[in-house]
Amino acid sequence: EMVVVGSVNADLVVRVDRRPAPGETVIGSDLVTHPGGKGANQAVAAARLGARVALLGRIGSDGHGEFLHKALAGDGVGLGHLVETPGPSGVALITVGADGDNSIIVSPGVNARLSEDDVAAAAGLLASARVVSLQLESPLAAVLAAARTAARVVFNLSPPAVVPDELLALCDPLVVNEHEAAFLLGGRGAPGSQARALLALGPRSVVLTLGAGGAVVAEPGGVIEVPSPRVEAVDTTGAGDAFTGALAWRLAGGDDLATATAFAVRVGAASVRRPGAQSSYPYPEDLEAL
Cβ within 8 Å of residue 99, ≥6 positions away: none
Task: Spot the catalytic one: 118, 172, 241, 286.
Answer: 241
CA 241 – CA 237 distance, rounded (Å): 9
How many residues form the binding site for ligand ADP (CB under 6 A)?
A: 18
Question: Interface residues for ligand ADP in 141-180 (CB under 6 A)?
Answer: 177
CA distances 144 to 39, 67, 204, 283, 286, Å, are 15, 29, 16, 31, 35
Q: Is 263 in the site for ligand ADP (CB under 6 A)?
A: no
**Residue 241 catalytic?**
yes
Question: In 3-state terms, what secondary structure has residue 238?
Answer: coil
Stretch that binds ligand ADP, among 30-38, 60-68, 136-144, 262-270 (CB under 6 A): 262-270
Instruction: Assign residue 284 a region (left: φ > 0; alpha: ψ between -120 and 50; beta: otherwise).
Output: alpha
To ligand ADP, the closest distance from the beta carbon of 197 in angstroms equals: 17
111 is in an annotated binding site: no
172 is in an annotated binding site: no
Question: Interface residues for ligand ADP in 222-241 (CB under 6 A)?
Answer: 228, 231, 233, 236, 239-240
CA 37 – CA 33 distance, rounded (Å): 12
Question: Interface residues for ligand ADP in 173-212 (CB under 6 A)?
Answer: 177, 209-212
To ligand ADP, the closest distance from the beta carbon of 225 in angstroms equals: 11
To ligand ADP, the closest distance from the beta carbon of 81 in angstroms equals: 25
Of residues 91 and 239, the one with the C-beta less far from ligand ADP: 239
Backbone angles phi, psi at 7, to 5 degrees: -85, 150
CA 287 – CA 86 distance, rounded (Å): 40
To ligand ADP, the closest distance from the beta carbon of 216 in angstroms equals: 9
How big is the CA angle at 118 (ends 116 and 119), to the nearest 5 degrees? 65
Do 42 and 245 touch, CB atoms closer than 8 A? Answer: yes
37 is in an annotated binding site: yes
- Quote the distance between the C-alpha of residue 216 and its chain's center: 18
Q: Show which residues are catalytic.
A: 241
Binding site as annotated, residues: 9-11, 37-41, 137, 177, 209-214, 235, 237, 240-241, 271, 274, 276, 280
By CB under 6 A, name the binding residues for ligand ADP.
Answer: 177, 209-212, 214-215, 228, 231, 233, 236, 239-240, 243, 265, 268-269, 272
